[in-house]
Amino acid sequence: MYKMAVVGDRESILIFKAFGADIFAVDEGETLQNKKLINRLASDGYALILVTEQVAKHLSDVLEHFSRDLLPAISIIPSVEGSFGLAEMMLKKNVERAVGMNIL
Amino acid sequence: MEKLNVNPNRMELAELKSKLMVAKQGHELLKGKQDELVHRFVVVVNQSKKLRADVTEQFTGLYQEFALVGAEISPDFLEEAFMSSGNSSNIEVTEKSIMGVRVPQFDYSVSKEEISYPYSFSYTNSELDASLRKCHIMMEKIVLLAELEKTCELLTNEIEKIRRRVNALEFMTIPQLQESIRYIQMKLDENERGNLVRLIKVKNKTKKQMSK
């Protein structure tokens, strides 16, 4: 049995508390701390980590690192400030890597 | 293409020929696998793209509603209300294999249960209930989206790896083997011709001596 974590600014992630996810309110500027947090969560048996876009945009190398492993799955969710398409961009990049060009 | 460093003899030739056959078979197989993987990948990507657009839109709506809730109820109280939630997030993870690539499958139990409101209704408003309901419905999609995106990533890695192998076989190993085989065959033919010439010369010489 695995757990689920949500990382982001407090306002955006509060509601997930109601569904039993563990929430970690962080400051998007604290890149190093956030990287450490993600690493800790990954080794603590969290299968699913949701990260808000605002936080995730500074953590691309960590996301890249965990994209090679089966678990955890790190997924990007929009924050209250709205979405600027980071997840779509990453999907596009994957398609380009796999197919050789952007076919979307 | 550079030939391999081989001795031009028949044994080496036979060995290289069998190697070439294996390389060609392997190339064929890997190419087939790559094509099928890309095919599956495109299906997953399209699904994931659609779901991502859907989820992003729903999130925007959710946050708008939730902002209204936050306006009426103090954030501290809101946090307290959720903290007492008895739910614990339990995700069942099973593994699935797509063409030999192991991908996770998530099963989120909370999204299947009836929604429970972990707070007292007397201190909260109906907007909170509404946004909680909305988020509850979204949960399933969010988990599915995470699964699809993870699958995409893992498939991308595998496809990249296989493409590199296919290319290595197609543009390095197979031409090298072919070149080496040609080299050995030429060398053997050359030896054969040399031998023939020598024999003819010897024959001519013995003929001359006989006639003397």
ipTM for the complex? 0.89
Length of chain B: 212
| Average pLDDT of chain B, as a whole number | 86
Span B50-79, average pLDDT: 82
Domain span holding position B74: 20-160
Decide if A75 is inside a domain: yes
Residue A87: Cβ within 10 Å count: 23
Whether B67 sits inside 8 A of A95 (CB atoms) is no
CATH number at residue B154: 1.10.287.3240
**pLDDT at residue B209 greater than cutoff 90:** yes
Q: What is the pLDDT of residues B6-49, one digit of tens each?
A: 888 999 999 999 999 999 999 999 999 999 999 999 999 999 99
Which of A29-35's residues contact partners 24+ apart within 8 Å by CB, and which partners?
Answer: A31/A58, A31/A59, A34/A7, A34/A58, A34/A59, A35/A59, A35/A61, A35/A62
Residue of chain B nearest A17, judged by CA positions: B82
Decide if A77 is inside a domain: yes
Decide if A92 is inside a domain: yes
Share of chain B above pLDDT 90, in %: 48
Decide if B129 is inside a domain: yes
Q: Where are the strands (E) in chain A, listed by range?
A: 3-8, 22-25, 46-52, 73-77
At B197, the amino acid letter reads V
Sorting pLDDT into bands at 50, 70 and 90, what band is B88? Answer: low
CA distances to A41, B97, B155, B158, B159 from B100, rounded to whole Å, are 28, 5, 10, 10, 12
Decide if B3 is inside a domain: no
Decide if A104 is inside a domain: no
State the smallest CA–CA distance between residue A26 and chain B in angstroms: 15
Decide if B203 is inside a domain: no
CATH number at residue A72: 3.40.50.10580
Predicted local confidence at residue B168, as pLDDT: 95
State the smallest CA–CA distance between residue B27 and chain A in angstroms: 18
Contact list in A for residue B65 (CB cut-off 8 A) is none
Q: What is the pLDDT of residues B102-144, one digit of tens each?
A: 888 888 766 566 666 767 676 677 777 777 777 788 888 888 8
Sorting pLDDT into bands at 50, 70 and 90, what band is A25? Answer: confident
Decide if B192 is inside a domain: no
Sorting pLDDT into bands at 50, 70 and 90, what band is B59? Answer: confident
Q: Among the listed ranges A22-36, B72-86, B188-202, which one has the minimum average pLDDT value?
A: B72-86
Decide if A7 is inside a domain: yes
Whether residue B104 is preceded by a cis peptide bond, meaning omega within 30 degrees of 0, is no
**pLDDT at residue B100 greater than cutoff 80:** yes
Predicted local confidence at residue B89, as pLDDT: 63
Handedness of CA B8, B11, B15, B20 (dihedral sign): positive
Contact list in A for residue B56 (CB cut-off 8 A) is 78, 83, 87
**Best CA proximity match to B56, nearest among B143, B149, B138:** B138
Contact list in A for residue B49 (CB cut-off 8 A) is 88, 91, 104
Predicted local confidence at residue B85, as pLDDT: 63
Closest Cβ opposite residue A98 in set B136, B139, B160? B160
**pLDDT at residue A97 greater than cutoff 70:** yes
Q: Which of the two residues, B70 and B164, has the higher pLDDT score?
A: B164
The answer to whether the CB of B42 falls within 8 A of the CB of A94 is: no
B129, with CB counted inside 10 A (0-12, 13-18, 19+), is middle
Q: How many domains does chain B have?
A: 1
Domain span holding position A10: 3-99
Span B170-174, average pLDDT: 94
Closest Cβ opposite residue A47 in set B88, B93, B154? B93
Whether A15 sits inside 8 A of B152 (CB atoms) is no
**pLDDT at residue A44 greater than cutoff 70:** yes
Which residues are B103's β-sheet partners?
B96
Contact list in A for residue B42 (CB cut-off 8 A) is 99, 103
Q: How many domains does chain A have?
A: 1
H or E element: which one contains B66?
Answer: helix B10-72
d(CA B161, CA A68): 12
How wide is the angle at C-alpha A50 spanned by C-alphas A37 and B43, nearest 5°? 135
d(CA B63, CA A13): 10
Strands B101-108 and B91-98: antiparallel
Predicted local confidence at residue A100, as pLDDT: 81
Predicted local confidence at residue B77, as pLDDT: 76
